[in-house]
A and B are shown apart, each in its own frame.
Chain A
């Protein structure tokens, strides 16, 4: 993001004239609306905003946002975004990727864009399946996923996007899901973060992986299974009746009961979004025995890649002339007389 003057826009201003072509009921619609709703609140300028994507269902996103958009090649969007930001660091760049695009073919670039800390918002739509190629299992598919390429069930262990991003040196890790009413809040926090802001968004693939996330997104179970992390607040869920405490013997989190709101006595940990160790514990909690951690899990900025690189370039240029003729004539030369 950048510090340019906020622009007044409405959701409509961020819609293109293009017919949206996701399957009816796809979670991508909800994410698109959440983003289009958030951008006016951020005061973003369509002329100064760029959506960059790779390949896959999620990567059609830029065509539907009335801003600059670049639908690139499979997995490489982070590298395009890097060139864009280095050429013009004032541009507000959003990276749209999916679990296949970002973690399979593009895992390398995702790692490096996070490691370098390019100032972008990275939205990874995780539907745990390859949608556009008709339902093959993806690097985030759970073990045993039956798919056209794994009729007997997949055998490989899934990657955890947030753990990957954190492991790559990410300084902002957040998680939400397509129809969550809190998604805009997460997006705003990501935008406010100076640096690579990684957001995993669970997304329902209505055709090939329907209701995959119902075990924590379905209304009846949501309260009991969702834990929204908020900086400075205790890690509570199930309407405050449960919380996460630290098992100091085993050095891991444990679920504790909270009676009458007395989370202090139960030893519930207060969330510190700058605590990297806590972030690791939260993103690696096995779901089932633990709730699903959502919200801003980690947010601890450090200098961005482009500010460091361009700052260094700026210093290197100081006081030097750009006279190519002079440069070419420098050093060991000789003259041939007429």
Chain B
């Protein structure tokens, strides 16, 4: 965790002895779900990125769109960890908690580092809100916050005052509170306001009064920090730019980078893309992004349900497009039968699963990695599907390209696993050059490929892949379907030998993909030793930092992070056997651990968490200590 790198919160709050500026800070904005905390966090993230800090974010919001105001379950939070050093998680414990109401304070207080700073809007700590948050006494007054440093002032009143000249109604005026708070935060971390002012003017281009009011609130919050004589411990901190590889940078969320990666993949395959989707949290944002990319040959279709979404994508693949669909938990379950058809008909398809807490509806807005079994094993019949797992928002770009490559080169559906955390979280991204990727253009069959001008839709190439024949190609008429087929002609064929041959061929094809993927590398550490932590997906940051810290303390531990979850890299088994112990941290009850045990007969042990929150570095570090004790 980056916050360990600076010496206590005094550095931030200018306690008794002023310490040098910290290398990293964790700030959590928390408020009512109607308070615009995600927006505030998003804009703070942007200003952080523009200041050249490395960062990671964790948006954490309720499933309800507008939960009743002031309630504990309606609290929406946005955490950002930023610093002048490499940042890989959203941070274990916030150094600063900005609480816009009593409920936000109550829900988030436990996470705050002892001695950390609370900034609270005292104007919202009235009797009604205190009751809703189930406070018997006002925590701002009763000494219960003594473990922390408290700065309470009436942000509501200050905002109303700041926007008074614009003649807004009370409700509208109070909506500017988040900009006032953002202004204060910008002052605290010595940030340039101009990009935010530009953004507000663009956002409210059709309502200049609202634009002006919000800018005024932003400026007022900033000025408050600068000029107000705060009796408390607030002081300005400058976090320097991180030393990064030279190049052009931007921030990116997983949903954005997956969308761009799919477009890049389609371009590398020389294909138009068809995306069939159905709204579901947290996968919808991919569809929202792709509808804006039509000029890249993207056709999007909001289907009537999850099944129609995948079915239309398979139909489009049959007609020569790159079919893509995406969903989460229950939606993926609904698509399962159609995935089997894509396996059976051997058509390319990318299925993006933005995992969320399950089973059933589960935790729609929280993160989990519990769909691994479903991805690897979860279909009727022997229906192998390759699985690629993204570890971060920026990694998701390359993973999406990889999914397209495998789908089109091997004529198979591919599952791309991401999760709610990756989808929503933002991080700085060195803008890739799409031209630097090796193209993998698709060749459609244009002429009969069998003897005497016959068409053999299931004749296989050296990869075990059948030819892709676009419906509509002159003279290549053929029929495909979900029934077992003749190994060459594709005609219905239930003969025992045919089913055996085809089952074997489908398995061999997917197994063979392992030959086209890079050997598994040790992400951090040595290829052998006392302990290895094997991760996949969004646990990357926490595992990586925990292993780094443990190694700094001299512990013999390494980190292996797996992108190709199925088929696994060919060397993975031998690599794991070089360690005395194998520990698999994952946000489920131990799914990848089971796969590793099954494939390699290694004594992989689980480290699991299913609270809907990502691992903290400390949790993983503790597990390392326990394993090596």
Say if A and B assemble together: yes
- Chain A residues in the interface with B (C-beta under 8 A): 16, 18, 46-48, 50, 52, 55, 62-63, 66-73, 76, 78-84, 86-88, 90-91, 108-109, 111-112, 309-310, 313, 316-317, 320-322, 324-325, 327-329, 331-338
Are A80 and B472 neighbours in the complex by a CB distance under 8 Å?
no
Complex formed: what's the CA distance from A46 to B481 in Å?
18
Identify B316's interface contact among A48, A86, A328, A329, CB under 8 A.
A86
Q: What are some 16 contacts across the A-B interface (CB < 8 A)? A: A69-B481, A70-B479, A72-B341, A76-B338, A78-B308, A80-B315, A84-B319, A87-B315, A87-B318, A88-B320, A91-B471, A109-B304, A109-B311, A313-B299, A322-B267, A329-B248
B295 at the interface (CB under 8 A from A): yes
With a cutoff of 8 Å between Cβ atoms, the chain A residues found around residue B323 in the complex are 83
| Interface locus among B180-188, B239-247, B364-372, B520-528 | B239-247
Complex formed: what's the CA distance from A310 to B480 in Å?
27
Identify A72's interface contact among B244, B297, B482, CB under 8 A.
B482
Q: Contacts A87-B319, A327-B260 hold; do A332 and B49 have CB atoms under 8 A apart? A: yes
Complex formed: what's the CA distance from A79 to B272 in Å?
19
Are A84 and B315 neighbours in the complex by a CB distance under 8 Å?
yes
Are A317 and B294 neighbours in the complex by a CB distance under 8 Å?
yes
B12 at the interface (CB under 8 A from A): no
A307 nearest CB across to chain B (Å) = 13
A83 nearest CB across to chain B (Å) = 3
Are A18 and B478 neighbours in the complex by a CB distance under 8 Å?
no
B50 at the interface (CB under 8 A from A): yes
Q: Give per-residue flags for B340-354: 1 if the beta carbon is below 8 A from chain A beta carbons, else 0.
A: 010001000000000
Identify A73's interface contact among B248, B299, B434, B482, CB under 8 A.
B482
Is chain B's interface secondary structure helix, strand, loop, or mixed overall? mixed
Q: Contacts A328-B260, A332-B50 hold; do A82 and B337 have CB atoms under 8 A apart? A: no
Are B492 and A18 neighbours in the complex by a CB distance under 8 Å?
yes
With a cutoff of 8 Å between Cβ atoms, the chain B residues found around residue A18 in the complex are 491-492
Are B311 and A316 neighbours in the complex by a CB distance under 8 Å?
no
B245 nearest CB neighbor, chain A only = A336
Are B46 and A332 neighbours in the complex by a CB distance under 8 Å?
yes
Which positions 429-464 of chain B face chain A at CB distance < 8 Å?
Answer: 431-435
Which positions 294-341 of chain B face chain A at CB distance < 8 Å?
Answer: 294-297, 299, 301, 303-305, 307-309, 311-321, 323, 337-338, 341
Identify B471's interface contact among A68, A333, A334, A338, CB under 8 A.
A68
Complex formed: what's the CA distance from A321 to B274 in Å?
19
A52 nearest CB neighbor, chain B only = B315
With a cutoff of 8 Å between Cβ atoms, the chain B residues found around residue A69 in the complex are 477-481
B308 nearest CB neighbor, chain A only = A79
- Chain B residues in the interface with A (C-beta under 8 A): 46, 49-50, 52, 195, 241, 244-251, 260, 263-264, 267, 272, 274, 276, 293-297, 299, 301, 303-305, 307-309, 311-321, 323, 337-338, 341, 345, 431-435, 470-483, 491-492
Are B471 and A79 neighbours in the complex by a CB distance under 8 Å?
no
Q: Contacts A68-B472, A81-B315, A83-B315 hold; do A324 and B320 have CB atoms under 8 A apart? A: no
B198 nearest CB across to chain A (Å) = 9
Are B299 and A86 neighbours in the complex by a CB distance under 8 Å?
yes
Q: Contacts A62-B479, A325-B433, A336-B244 hold; do A83 and B472 have CB atoms under 8 A apart? A: no
Q: Contacts A83-B318, A88-B319, A88-B471 hold; do A66 and B477 have CB atoms under 8 A apart? A: yes
Identify B312's interface contact among A66, A82, A90, CB under 8 A.
A82
With a cutoff of 8 Å between Cβ atoms, the chain B residues found around residue A336 in the complex are 52, 241, 244-247, 249
Are B247 and A313 neighbours in the complex by a CB distance under 8 Å?
no
With a cutoff of 8 Å between Cβ atoms, the chain A residues found around residue B251 in the complex are 332
Identify A63's interface contact among B264, B301, B341, B492, CB under 8 A.
B492
B470 nearest CB across to chain A (Å) = 8
Are A63 and B473 neighbours in the complex by a CB distance under 8 Å?
no
Q: Contacts A321-B295, A324-B264 hold; do A47 and B476 have CB atoms under 8 A apart? A: yes
Complex formed: what's the CA distance from A316 to B296 in Å?
11
A284 nearest CB across to chain B (Å) = 25
Are B492 and A328 neighbours in the complex by a CB distance under 8 Å?
no
Are A48 and B260 neighbours in the complex by a CB distance under 8 Å?
no
Q: Contacts A50-B471, A72-B481, A79-B311 hold; do A324 and B263 have CB atoms under 8 A apart? A: yes
A150 nearest CB across to chain B (Å) = 26
